[in-house]
Amino acid sequence: MDSHHYESEARREGYFLVAGVDEAGRGPLAGPVVAAAVMLPEDIALDGVKDSKKMSETARGEAFCLIEKGAIDISLAVVSPKEIDSINILQATRKAMKQAVLTLNPRPDYLLVDGIHPVDLPIHQRCVIKGDQLSLSISAASVLAKVYRDSIMYSYHKLYPQYGFSSNQGYGTPEHREAIMKHGPCCIHRLTFRGVLR
């Protein structure tokens, strides 16, 4: 399927400001969840941009610059581990996505959202399962969210090197779980997540 398929379909229906929305960091035991929203021009070509999980770190960094340069607008939103514990990861993810969309300028008239949960806004939208593999706008959002979140986790690694955040990005690797057992959780761990709870 053409990576512009969903965007082209929306435009045929009369929508022109189409934004892709995705998140990074739903699964980790530590760190925030980050959402990105991206509005791309109709004819843009972003060679090599695909699902961020299938790209190397170098490729994602290069793609981030290409997307930022070529997009109509981009937006990122962050929800903290403390708030994730307070409202749960699904609601935190939806909140981050909503915030990301609300700060786009101009405001999109159509959203393509990765997954099955719509953004809580009165904007026409379509949820696309595996959207980060099927839609260029969503793929671009996945890259932005992943790169930005990784940069946050690199910063936290400098503060808390014992957990290995620079290599695990907060995910529950055996080494990370062992470090939690040894040192206890730090202030960016999600205390409601299995693997952090004692």
pLDDT for 114-143, tens place per residue?
999 999 999 999 999 999 999 999 999 999
pLDDT at position 198 over 70: no
Exposed / middle / buried, residue 119 (Cβ in 10 Å: 0-12, 13-18, 19+)? buried
pLDDT at position 17 over 80: yes
Contact 132, 154 (CB under 8 A): no
pLDDT at position 177 over 80: yes
What pLDDT, in 10s, does the model give residues 6-16?
999 999 999 99
**Helix, strand, or coil here: 130?**
coil
Structural domains in the chain plus CATH codes: 5-149 (3.30.420.10)
CB count within 10 Å of CB 6 equals 22
Q: What percent of the chain has pLDDT over 90?
A: 88
Mean pLDDT of the chain: 95
What pLDDT, in 10s, does the model give residues 41-99?
998 888 878 777 888 899 999 999 999 999 999 999 999 999 999 999 999 999 999 99
In one-letter notation, the amino acid at residue 68 is E
**Which two three-digit tokens encode residue 125?**
């939208």
How far out from the chain centre does Cα 193 lie? 19
Q: What is the pTM of this model?
A: 0.95
The mean pLDDT of 24-33, rounded to a whole number, is 97
Q: Is omega for the bond preceding 106 within 30 degrees of 0, making it cis?
A: yes
Furthest-apart CA pair in the chain: how many Å? 57
Q: What does the radius of gyration of the chain's CA atoms come to, in whole angstroms?
A: 17
Q: What percent of the chain has pLDDT over 70?
A: 99
